[in-house]
Structure 1
Amino acid sequence: MTTAVDTNALLAILYDDTHTDASETALRQAYQEGKLVIAPIVYAELAADGHFDTVSELNEFLGDFSLRLGEPSRDALFRAGQQFQRYTSRRPDGLQCPTCGHKQRGVCEACGDDLAPRQHIAADFLIGGHAVVDAESLISFDSGFYETYFPSLTVRPAEDSSHS
């Protein structure tokens, strides 16, 4: 069995946050069931975090958890693109206050187009596409997102948490 790992599960370990124990437990269990992989974008996100000064340091961290770099298949990349297009077509115009819910319309001063929130980026869809096509499950703390766009994907741990 192959389990993909989302960036937020690894950041939880690096920064000893509220998901650290759940992440370590899920990684340990998945390792006992098969192999652990990350998509190249997860590698890049970890490198961009600033925690590692060299490629060797990042590779050592990944090695400590027996994580391999897995190249997404073309089917995985296509699936990611399809779901990203679905997301962008469903995204509402305007902006909404996260505190009171008031909706506002914002307009770009340069071109006059409506401004829209950018909550998820293509990287999230690449991680999901890789996991759903090239693995059997995903370790992530963004299960609500993956359930929406990749409903057949098994996300562990089971509890629903927000994206780190």
Structure 2
Amino acid sequence: MTLIDTNVLLDLVTDDPNWADWSVAQLEAASLNGPLLINDVVYAELAVRYARSEDLDAFLDAAGLEMAPIPRTALFLAGKVFTQYRRSGGHRTGVLPDFFIGAHAAVGSLPLLTRDVGRYQTYFPTLKVTTPNS
């Protein structure tokens, strides 16, 4: 199983000229290791690109993505890591979704496919992350 970050899926949805090919190849490779998972946060972030939930659900089905709820222990960890981030001088309020995603992967011992390595490696050092630089 692999948890997929929103940015990888947005590469497909937007047919990003710089990243779509990389993201497709990584999704195909990850699918060989088991189900491709997203959580509620990723679903919500993807929803901004769709007019109807049925259209988003059709994309998820076509991409072979499965929903996985965020465990309560991961929600707690996300809050604690966000607190650590803020205490270390972090100011952006929009980073909390990354902490939900990272904590979900960390608690579930799931590899994470993402293009955004910095925060994940800093706040979840044991997390196995697949990025363009790995």
TM over 0.5: yes
Kindly name which structure, 1 or 2, has the bigger radius of gyration based on alpha carbons. Answer: 1
Counterpart position of 1:43 = 43
**Partner Cα separation in structure 1 for residue 93 and residue 40 of structure 2:** 21
The structure where helix makes up a greater share of residues is: 2
Q: Give the alignment's Cα RMSD to 1 decimal.
A: 1.6
Q: Report deviation, 1:120.
A: 4.4
Q: Report deviation, 1:158.
A: 4.6
* Consecutive unaligned residues in structure 2, runs of 5 or more: none
- Tell me the number of residue pairs that the alignment of Structure 1 and Structure 2 aligns: 133
Residue 146, structure 1, aligned to residue 120, structure 2: yes
Residue 32, structure 1, aligned to residue 6, structure 2: no
**Partner Cα separation in structure 1 for residue 4 and residue 72 of structure 2:** 19
Q: For the Cα contact (< 8 Å) 2:3–2:37, is it kept in 1?
A: yes
Counterpart position of 1:14 = 13
**Partner Cα separation in structure 1 for residue 52 and residue 4 of structure 2:** 21
Deviations 1:20-79 (A, max 9, x none): 11111111111111011111011011112xx31111110010111111111011111111
Percent identity reads: 38
**Partner Cα separation in structure 2 for residue 42 and residue 8 of structure 1:** 9
TM (norm. structure 1) is 0.76
Deviations 1:75-119 (A, max 9, x none): 111111111111011116xxxxxxxxxxxxxxxxxxxxxxxx416
Change (3 A) 1:135 1:69: farther
TM (norm. structure 2) is 0.91
Q: For the Cα contact (< 8 Å) 2:109–2:127, is it kept in 1?
A: no
**Partner Cα separation in structure 2 for residue 143 and residue 121 of structure 1:** 13
Q: For the Cα contact (< 8 Å) 2:5–2:38, is it kept in 1?
A: yes
**1:11-160 alignment to 2 at 5 Å?**
11-17=10-16, 18-48=18-48, 51-91=49-89, 117-118=91-92, 120-159=94-133
Q: Residue 32 of structure 2: SS of its match in structure 1?
A: helix
**Partner Cα separation in structure 2 for residue 158 and residue 136 of structure 1:** 18
**Partner Cα separation in structure 2 for residue 7 and residue 143 of structure 1:** 13
Q: For the Cα contact (< 8 Å) 2:116–2:131, is it kept in 1?
A: no
Q: For the Cα contact (< 8 Å) 1:3–1:135, is it kept in 2?
A: no
